[in-house]
Structure 1
Amino acid sequence: MSGITNANAQAVPPASVVVVAAPPPSSVAIRKITVDASPLAGSGINIAKFPALVQVLGSHDLSAGGTANVAQALNRQAAGVNLVNSQANPYQPNILYHGFELSPIQGTPAGLSVYVDGARFNVPFGDLAIMSALPDAAIHSLTVEDGNPLFGLNALGGAVDIAMKNGFTYHGGELELSGGSFGKIDANLQYGVRHGNVAAYVDLQERHEAGWRDLQSSDLQNFYGDLGWRGTHATLHINATLANSVLNGPGTVPVQILAVDPAAQFTGPNLIADKYAKLAATLNDRISKTTSIQGVLYYDYLLEHLVNGNGPNDLPCGPGPDAGYLCQGGPGNPVSTMRGGAPIPNFLPRPDAAGYYQYGELDLNSTNTNGYGGSLQISNTAPVFGLHNHIIAGLSYDGGFTTYDAAAYDGGITTISRVYYTPPGIPNPGYLVDEPGTVPVGVVIRNAYYGAYLSDTLNLTKQLSITAGGRFNIANIALHDQDPPDPNAPGAGLSGRHYYEHFNPAIGFAYNVTPLSTIYGGYSEANAAPTPAELSCASPQDSCALANFLSGDPDLRQIVARTVAFGLRGAALGPIGSTFSYDLDYYHTITNDDIEFLQSPYNPTGSGYFSNIGNVKRAGFDLALRLDASRWHAYFTYSRVSATYQDSYTEQSNNPAANADGNITILPGDFLPGIPRNLFKLGGSYDVTPKWSVGLSGVAQTSTFLYGDEANLTSPLPGYVVLNLTTRYHLTPKLEVFGVIDNITDATYYNYGTFAPAGGVYVAQDPGFSNPRSYSIAAPIAGVVGVKVKF
């Protein structure tokens, strides 16, 4: 088991202990927390001995906003976390922690590693973390750890360690039904049972939402089941996860269109359809009083289809010898060809009344990924020279086999809604585009990641403990091009082999000033190997469309993060019979050879490539406070994040402040986009009566620079304040009704900003729009009501 020892313990913000009100007013009752020092259970140490920031969300915290929701709980409660939503779908946000990003979408280098019950959850192809594949109500606890290289590749900013429920930790059943604004309907059924040494747990989840914007519907089905056995010295669990989802995201929209129609989408369709399955087995065997072994084996499968309707890359060539055909980017450029080399005809030769040719492009991507792996670990707590000591050592392997296909089709786009369609008289779904070096694509990818780690925590005194260790990572990545070589392609094809290795050390201390107060600090390193998606799209000449199409390229360098951090956590008596917990931490991380997705100056609009852009600094601090009493609870967090580039580089951008060549130059000290420098969170609940409670939560953040404005040349995306209200009433001990109002002030705010090319697509809402600023607008005021029945 990972994280907190009690599923209902409220531990955000966490301290060195979880505190509860004690009967005597002059004392504080405490509940200890164990923190897993590695992804596998059995590595737990008391948080008072852990030399880094740890935040824990229990199942109660995950459902504080009504129904259980991981991303929402992290956004509203966890210090240092903010969300951006480029897809504008409520189930597809990017999670940023201290400026490091975790995304379900290709094209974002992963800065956090994710483990579920000891098994790696990052998808092999792009290190994505598809959190919507997990039924939220089935999560027992979620722990965010800083500065721990034992969590393997991508733990640049930390790791997310998730423990699922099982029949030993959850007993009985619960049926939850809810519905509300924008066609939202949720249903969840969970049941846990134990009989002697055997226990079982199952969770079924169904979610549907029509959405408040055009083409924003969501449909998700999830299953999780666990069968466990517990003997005198050993435990064994076998669990399965199944998920199916179809998520439509209207994405960003130019601000001039939003001013006329906030619900509009720009071009469509834009959907991601996922089918996910995972089977895992975990073992924890205590072979002596001081020694135990842990192991995990897993297999997962992901089939993902992406469908993106976009504005045209191919336009009429104009007068001349190529009249009657389409050219890449319009007149004066190479003639667009279909598969086989034939030119694509000008199949919509007459412009509409506004003078636009209503061409469109449909981009299709298919990813079929098989992931598999395992870990084996030994843990020993025997004293060393009479001193308390806890040492763990382990080996891990994570492999992957992926087939990836991508294609682009030329067709039409509707005048009013700007949705791709197939015009009469052309092949369905359109003319298959052949752009040498870009599309179509077929590639087979094999990943092999190896890890060996060691960590030792030694109590030098009753108050002072030292932790030292490290992990050695090896990454082997092989790509095999499935398409015949194209002599017209600028690159050398997709095939290639890439090898990376790095040793990541860590050392830290924890000093207990009092039994309830701890000072901690340390140094750690972590690395991230470039993903196959990044390795196959790393040259401006051989770009890919929105990180979805691959092309041949040179090697990228791996990212290495070096972090120094220290902090103070503790607990004390608070006012009017409450208990007070606190956490103050500071961190300073330099990533060498950071990777970003840059716009290509050579290929059509929307194409880009991955590149190492030098060093990036992420530094700041978090202050987390909490008060708990018998009838009320309150928390407050403030996070200061400064994420800046440390080296200069130049990139192409649709930024209106770009120079005559369309370039912007990033200078040392420029801020990364999407990361607020100031982030505030507050919340609380009050038991009005023994049966009725009300709660309030709020998030406020300052402005952020737009993606595409890494040089900080234009005005930033405005900051915002959003408040949410919840209430619960227990009709009986087993029957509860609840209500939620999100964004109670109906604030208009935006959670992602970038630049879109102005022109090329007719916009009926504003035919003359020229401002390239494009925002992802957040939902207005919305309500949900529901019922929970326990049995």
Structure 2
Amino acid sequence: MQNNLAHPVSPLRLAIGIALTGLASHIFAQASADILVIDVVPAGASIDSSKVPYPIQVGSAQDLDNVGGASLADFMGQSFSSVSLNDAQNNPLQRDLQYRGFTASPLLGLAQGLAVYQNGVRINEPLGDAVNWDLLPQSAINQITLSGGSNPLYGLNSLGGSLVIDMKNGFNFQGSNVEVSAGSFGRSTANYEIGGNDGQLGYYLNVERFDEDGWRDQSESDALNLYGSLSWHSEYSAVNLNLQHGRSDLIGNGASPIELLNIRREAIFTGPDVTENKLTMVNLDFAHEVSSNISFSGNLFWRENDTDAFNGDGTEFAVCEFTGGDGLIEGLEEDDIEELGIDDDDLCEGQFSDAEALEDFLNNLASSLDENEEYNIEGFEDDELSGTGVLADDAINNISNRVQQSFGGDFQWTLKGTFAGYEGQIVLGGSYFHGESDFRSVLELAEIDPLTRVTTGLGTGTFVDVAATLINTETETLSTYMTSTLDLIDAVALTLSLRANDTDVTLRDRSGMRPELNGDHNFSRLNPALGVTWQAAENHNLYASFSRSSRAPTPIELACNEGVFELAVKFAIERGDDPDDVDFECRLPNAFLADPPLDDVVSNSFEIGARGFIGGMAYSAGVFHTTNKNDILFQTTGRATGLFANIDETQRLGFEGRLTGNLQHLNWTLAYSFVDATFEDNFKVLSPNHAFADDEGEILVENGDQIPGIPQNQFKLLTNYRVTDLFGIGLDIISNSDQHLRGDESNQLHTVAGYTLVNLRARYQVSDQFEIFATVNNLLDEEFETFGLLGEEPGELEVPMIEDLTVPLFLGPAPPRAAFVGLSYAFQ
């Protein structure tokens, strides 16, 4: 009985022990037909794993250590079926993870579709549901579990699946260990952990450090995480107090123009793009067994993440000489001016009194030439700028701070016995979540280094006041849920689940100047799930399920979507401002515009599959069909700008298959996934830089077009060969097919090419305590990209080499070949 309570720390822990969910490491060789229990609801009620009606994939602490990825996302991309990664930000700790076409990412601006839990606490951040891989110390992880389908029991955001991270404590880790590594790109890592217990009191402490220069220019990063756990366990009860503090300083300079990558792959477009996180998190989890048939468990948490962001970028402002002196203007586009047969440099030589006079001249000239173009030049008066007053039109610095604080809890009862004549269990529970975010941003005029294309130290100290944002957001969710699993007969189990969510989202402008930001929204939803499993034979288990989940639009989506223009124009008129001066885009994460409503996203998922053993091989295979109603799409209007919008329907249809086996000293896993992610409606979407965009900057998306950024075919071969009892090597092959560009939702342009990646691993056990390991990533040194989007013409940045580039296609290049060597020592 004590073993069942030995690790209640993870409210969503799926501690499964069947080999069909094993991962790419030597653990594959330990496939076993033992059926263990798993936890299936937020506070940890357990059930026989053969009665789980959906697919799961599990990774242990040893699996993570063997792969040696830079982040948890790296491990999953290399080891889990239907998981792919892209390098939109081009930082190893800021990768976008896609599972079955749903996203978990640290970047604001992506519609997130995976719920992520750490020790039972949902760690999707309040402002945009983002997930910060840099704040998850890998060496402190005991186990992770990825489950497929829109299971409502995992709460909001579990549209495509749920990731559960179960951390170590003094009862699942005893001893002390130190590990260091170093290698390419100036990367070095180190971690130290110690833990133990006396049978009743336990302790665990972990310190993890990551540091690198980066393989691209101006891309150094570092992260430090401390994690600790204090535990008290008895035969019938357990309590764990978990504390975490993390700090990171990350530079990810994003995608670069394809023409620039052809010249030099290490080159960046503009920079820096700095993200500094400071996290503190405390959670308390507990469990108590009242009797053999009644138990309860739960958790309480508090979490705060303070993020500073600094992004140097190109500018749309211009400094124009008027009769009264220099002035700052916006809306003078070089391409549009050239259509009139004049050069933009010739317009600002003191011949106009102000921006209005310049605008009148351009419109009159266009009319006389029968050009169907209307010019809107916005001028900024001195009282619309703050700071030094020094003007520059080379670049801008987007500077922001967001403090995200959340707290809440989860509590549940588990009842076992006979219900309506059937043996089984019923779980009843409820949860509360409160998240608050304070967001502040300013836009500074800056100069730019023409050689490095970074703006560090080159800000003028002049700020554009209209671009400043000071906003407070609050999200509050109250949920109740129940699930019952009944044994209809010995081999067949039926699971019925239901979860009710009620979410309030509030946005308040704190500057007093942006009333259009204020808004109150409520989203309520009742989500059911139905599943059945059949133990058809001793080594063959079949499952089928239907489930529904939902997510409320995040504050950042509500504050930046396609309905913004009409509302912002309305308030501009009420203030007596020129409505033509209202911008129709957001620069994420550094601006909000307004707050018209979006609908919540509702996901319906069907699963059918089989798992078990054939001879000496473990197998799993299944098909899934997930439909999202009112899905939220980020419409690209520039390299770092865009708007959110609801679209009627999207679909993810797919197949997953996996085989794991042994051949003498060789352990192997072969996995294939087909993920067909499509739009299921005809609609127009903003993409003004698209070659086939109409006069309104829109493209037509048709039913069946592929969703960008998701490779349709994924293949993985994972091998481990034991050369001797002390020495082993591993070879992993990952192959992804091509993907469409973000901004090409109509699928009219060339795709980002597919790629095949080969990684090599080796370990040598010098003694019982001392181990040497090495990793070579991208063994064949292939040049490929994992991400692409349409942006503005790069030549608008008038600096050497860039000013001659004309193709508005930006790609996220993958790192070249990299080698790392490390040492691990376990103290006695």
TM-score past 0.5 threshold? yes
| 8 Å Cα contact 1:260/1:765 also seen in 2 | no
- SS of the residue corresponding to residue 162 of structure 1 reads strand
Q: 1:690 aligns with which of 699, 703, 725?
A: 725
Alignment of 1:663-742 (within 5 A): 663-742=698-777
- SS of the residue corresponding to residue 485 of structure 1 reads coil
In structure 2, distance between residues paired with 1:527 and 1:139: 28
Equivalence for 2:825? 789
Equivalence for 1:500? 523
Deviations 1:700-726 (A, max 9, x none): 011000111111111000000000001
Task: Go from structure 1 to structure 2 and tell me whether the alpha carbon gap of 1:568 and 1:534 turns closer, same or farther (over 3 Å shift).
Answer: same
Equivalence for 1:762? 798
Q: Which moved more, 1:685-694 or 1:62-71?
A: 62-71
Q: 1:610 aligns with which of 631, 644, 657?
A: 644
Deviation of 1:329 after TM superposition, in Å, equals 2.7
1:245 aligned onto 2:248: yes
More helix by share: 2
| 8 Å Cα contact 1:641/1:678 also seen in 2 | yes
Equivalence for 1:432? 463
In structure 2, distance between residues paired with 1:56 and 1:746: 30
Alignment of 1:113-124 (within 5 A): 113-124=115-126
| 8 Å Cα contact 2:652/2:676 also seen in 1 | yes
In structure 1, distance between residues paired with 2:285 and 2:464: 47
- SS of the residue corresponding to residue 417 of structure 2 reads coil
One-letter amino acid of the counterpart of residue 754, structure 1: L
Deviations 1:371-402 (A, max 9, x none): 10000001112133553202111000010122
1:772 aligned onto 2:804: no
Alignment of 1:379-418 (within 5 A): 379-384=414-419, 387-418=422-453
Deviation of 1:507 after TM superposition, in Å, equals 0.3
Equivalence for 1:127? 129
One-letter amino acid of the counterpart of residue 805, structure 2: F
Alignment: residue pair count: 752
Q: 1:471 aligns with which of 494, 499, 502?
A: 499
- SS of the residue corresponding to residue 72 of structure 1 reads helix
Deviations 1:313-360 (A, max 9, x none): 211347x668732211326433343783259999678xxxxxxxx610
One-letter amino acid of the counterpart of residue 768, structure 1: D
| 8 Å Cα contact 1:325/1:346 also seen in 2 | no
Task: Go from structure 1 to structure 2 and tell me whether the alpha carbon gap of 1:496 and 1:668 turns closer, same or farther (over 3 Å shift).
Answer: same
What TM-score, normalized to structure 2?
A: 0.87
One-letter amino acid of the counterpart of residue 804, structure 2: G
Equivalence for 2:654? 620
| 8 Å Cα contact 2:652/2:677 also seen in 1 | yes
In structure 1, distance between residues paired with 2:111 and 2:316: 26
Task: Go from structure 1 to structure 2 and tell me whether the alpha carbon gap of 1:422 and 1:234 turns closer, same or farther (over 3 Å shift).
Answer: closer
Q: Which moved more, 1:546-555 or 1:59-68?
A: 59-68
Equivalence for 2:183? 180
Equivalence for 2:171? 168
Task: Go from structure 1 to structure 2 and tell me whether the alpha carbon gap of 1:161 and 1:325 turns closer, same or farther (over 3 Å shift).
Answer: same
Task: Go from structure 1 to structure 2 and tell me whether the alpha carbon gap of 1:445 and 1:102 turns closer, same or farther (over 3 Å shift).
Answer: same
1:570 aligned onto 2:570: no
Task: Go from structure 1 to structure 2 and tell me whether the alpha carbon gap of 1:190 and 1:777 turns closer, same or farther (over 3 Å shift).
Answer: same
In structure 2, distance between residues paired with 1:396 and 1:12: 31
Alignment of 1:507-518 (within 5 A): 507-518=530-541
Q: 1:451 aligns with which of 456, 463, 479?
A: 479
Alignment of 1:255-654 (within 5 A): 255-317=258-320, 324-330=326-332, 332=359, 333-337=376-380, 340-341=383-384, 359-384=394-419, 387-420=422-455, 429-435=460-466, 439-485=467-513, 492-538=515-561, 539-541=563-565, 543-574=585-616, 580-599=617-636, 606-628=640-662, 631-653=665-687, 654=689
1:12 aligned onto 2:31: no
In structure 2, distance between residues paired with 1:745 and 1:19: 26
Deviation of 1:301 after TM superposition, in Å, equals 0.4
In structure 2, distance between residues paired with 1:185 and 1:162: 24
Task: Go from structure 1 to structure 2 and tell me whether the alpha carbon gap of 1:493 and 1:626 turns closer, same or farther (over 3 Å shift).
Answer: same
Alignment of 1:46-65 (within 5 A): 46-65=48-67
| 8 Å Cα contact 1:39/1:115 also seen in 2 | no
Deviation of 1:96 after TM superposition, in Å, equals 0.6
Task: Go from structure 1 to structure 2 and tell me whether the alpha carbon gap of 1:68 and 1:287 turns closer, same or farther (over 3 Å shift).
Answer: farther
| 8 Å Cα contact 1:452/1:471 also seen in 2 | yes
Uncovered stretches (5+) of structure 1, i.e. residues with no partner: 22-27, 350-357, 487-491, 575-579
| 8 Å Cα contact 1:12/1:78 also seen in 2 | no
Q: Which moved more, 1:29-38 or 1:463-472?
A: 29-38
Deviations 1:71-97 (A, max 9, x none): 122111111110112110011011111
One-letter amino acid of the counterpart of residue 516, structure 1: N
| 8 Å Cα contact 2:444/2:464 also seen in 1 | yes
In structure 1, distance between residues paired with 2:260 and 2:244: 41
One-letter amino acid of the counterpart of residue 627, structure 1: G
Task: Go from structure 1 to structure 2 and tell me whether the alpha carbon gap of 1:408 and 1:68 turns closer, same or farther (over 3 Å shift).
Answer: closer
Alignment of 1:163-242 (within 5 A): 163-242=166-245
Task: Go from structure 1 to structure 2 and tell me whether the alpha carbon gap of 1:168 and 1:634 turns closer, same or farther (over 3 Å shift).
Answer: same
- SS of the residue corresponding to residue 166 of structure 1 reads coil
In structure 2, distance between residues paired with 1:339 and 1:686: 70
One-letter amino acid of the counterpart of residue 512, structure 1: Q
> RMSD of aligned C-alpha atoms?
2.3
Task: Go from structure 1 to structure 2 and tell me whether the alpha carbon gap of 1:682 and 1:20 turns closer, same or farther (over 3 Å shift).
Answer: closer
What TM-score, normalized to structure 1?
A: 0.91
One-letter amino acid of the counterpart of residue 549, structure 1: A
Uncovered stretches (5+) of structure 2, i.e. residues with no partner: 1-6, 334-358, 360-375, 569-584
